[in-house]
Amino acid sequence: MKRIWLLFAQTVTVLLAALFVVATLKPEWLNRRSVLPTVVPVIESPGTPAITGSSATSRSLRDAAKAASPAVVSINTSKAPESTPHTNDPWFRFFFGDQAQGQPQEGLGSGVIVSPAGYILTNNHVIEEADQIEVVLNDGRKTVAQVIGTDPETDLAILKVDLTGMPVVTLGDSDALAIGDQVLAIGNPFGVGQTVTSGIVSALGRTQLGINTFENFIQTDAAINPGNSGGALVDINGHLMGINTAIYSRSGGSMGIGFAIPTSTARTVMEAIVRDGKVTRGWIGVEPQDLTQELAESFGVPPGSGVVITGVLQNGPAAQAGMRPGDVVTHLADKPVGNVTQLLSAVAALVPGTPSTLDIIRKDGPLKLKITPGKRNLSRNTPTNR
C-alpha cells in the first residue's frame, strides 16, 4: 500500500513539475483555444443604412476629386519690369548688361473652367496688372488667356481661352452649405502641381475681414496655400461651392483658416461680366452704422433688426427720397436688413435708375420711402459710397 501511495505521490510531483516548466517556458501551449472571428455590431441610427463592405469605399472623396480636378487650371502671370532712366542708355547697358532693364515679375495662381466656351473664374489679385497670362490645363495643354472683365470689389475675374474639349466644373448651390460639410480645395500651391486637400466648412458668412468690399466668405480648414488663390472649393459631389481666395496665416502657410468666395456671388459676378463686361451696382449715398444695444432700445427695436443712418449725402438718392440722419433702416426692397454688411449687399443689388422701397423707423414711428438708386462709382472713396 505504501508503494502505491509513494508511486502516486511521485507521479503527481513529476506532473506538477512538468506543468510548472511548461507554464514558465511555453505558456502558449496552455492557452490554445479555437480562434473565432470577432464580430463587431454596427450601430446605426433609425432610418440610416449601415455602411459595410464595398459601401464604405464610397465615403472616399476620390469621386469628387476625379470630377472636379480636370476643370481646375494653373495660371502663370508675368509683368514687364519697370523702366528706369537708364533702360535705353546704350552705354549703361554696355557696362551693366540686361540687368539695367530689371527682371520681369512673375505670379502664380489657379482658376476654374466654368463654361465650354472657355470662361475661367479666378481671383482678381491673381491676374491684376499682368501683361501676359498663361493658363495650363490639367492635361498639360497651355494657352494664353484673355481678360474678359474684373471685379475688384469681390476680388473676382473672368478669363477666356480658345481651346476645344475642355472639362467644365458643375456649379453647386453654395447657399445650401452647412457648417461641418466636407469640402475639397483644389489648386496649384507653391507651383508644385495640382494638389487636393480636404476639410470641412468651419463657418459661413464671414465678413469684416478687410479683404474685399463685399464679403460673405466660406471659412474652411482644408489646407489652402499661396498658389491656391482662384482655385476650386468643391463638395463631396465635386460641385463648385466657392473660389479659394485668402488664408489667415502668420507664417505664409496654411494654419487651418482659409476663405472662399461663395459660388452664389461668383455666379452673379460672372454673368454680369460676360453680359456687360463689368458689374454695375446700386448706390444711395448713406453712411450706416450697426445698432448698439442702447440705440436699439431707444428706437424700440431688437438688436440686429436694423441699421442706423449716421450720415446722408447731400442731393444723393437717399436725401432726395427724404432720408435723414438718425433713421433706422429695417428693410430694403422688402428684404430685412440686420447689419451694415447686409445693407451694403442689398444696396449693391439694386438696379440703378429703378425705384425701390425703403422701410425705416424714426422716433415718431415707422415710415416707407421710395428711393431711386444711382450707380455705384469706385472713384468715390467716402463712407457714403453706399
Span 119-143, pLDDT tens digits: 999 999 999 888 899 999 998 999 9
Q: Locate cell 455590431: which residue?
A: 41
Q: How far is it, in rounded angstroms, from Cα 27 to Cα 17? A: 14
Could you report the per-residue pLDDT of 153-204, keeping only the tens digit for each? 899 999 999 998 999 999 999 989 999 999 999 999 888 888 999 999 999 9
Task: Give 5's pLDDT tier (boundaries 50, 70, 90).
Answer: low
Instruction: Give CA separation, 2 vs 6, 8, 12, 27, 149, in Å.
Output: 6, 10, 15, 35, 113
Q: Which residue has the cell 473664374?
A: 121
Which three-class secondary structure state does DSSP give residue 338? coil
Q: Where are the domains of the chain?
A: 69-83+99-160, 170-276, 282-375
Of residues 254 and 85, more confidently modeled: 254
Q: What is the mean pLDDT of residues 335-358?
A: 87
**What whole-number distance in Å separates Cα of residue 150 and Cα of residue 349?**
17
Amino acid in the structure at residue 215:
E
Q: Which whole-number Å values give the CA distances from 378 to 211, 280, 364, in the listed order?
A: 16, 10, 36
Average pLDDT over residues 313-333: 90
Interatomic CA distance for residues 309 and 329, integer angstroms: 7
| pLDDT tens digits along 164-175 | 899 999 999 998
C-beta neighbour count of 181 within 10 angstroms: 16
Q: What is the 3-state secondary structure (H, E, C) of 114-166?
A: CCCCCEEEEEHHHHCCCCEEEEECCCCCEEECEEEEEECCCCEEEEECCCCCC
Other CB atoms within 10 A of residue 271 CB: 12
Q: In the structure, what pLDDT confidence band is assigned to residue 238 with cuts at 50, 70 and 90?
A: very high
Distance, in Å, from the CA atom of 194 to the CA atom of 228, rounded to the nearest integer, reads 9
pLDDT reading at 97 higher than 80: no
Backbone dihedral region for residue 132 (phi beyond 0: left; psi -120 to 50: alpha; all else: beta): beta
Same fold for the domain at 69-83+99-160 and the one at 282-375? Answer: no
Mean pLDDT of the chain, nearest integer = 80
255-310 pLDDT per residue, tens: 788 999 999 999 989 999 998 888 888 999 999 988 888 878 777 778 778 888 98
pLDDT of 193 reads 86
CATH (residue range 69-83+99-160):
2.40.10.10
**Residues carrying an active site annotation:** 125, 155, 229
Identify the band that residue 53 occupies on the pLDDT scale cut at 50, 70 and 90: very low
How many C-beta atoms surround the C-beta of residue 76 within 10 A?
18
Domain at 282-375: CATH code:
2.30.42.10
> What value does the mean pLDDT take over residues 348-361?
89
As a whole number of angstroms, the distance between CA 111 and CA 123 comes to 8
Q: Which CATH superfamily is domain 170-276 in?
A: Trypsin-like serine proteases (2.40.10.10)
Instruction: Give the pairing type, strands 328-332 and 307-312.
Output: antiparallel
Q: Which residue has the higher pLDDT, 124 or 89?
A: 124
- Would the pTM of this model clear 0.85, i.e. be above it? no
**What's the average model confidence in pLDDT over 346-374?**
88
Which grid cell is 133? Answer: 497670362
Q: Which residue has the cell 502668420?
A: 250
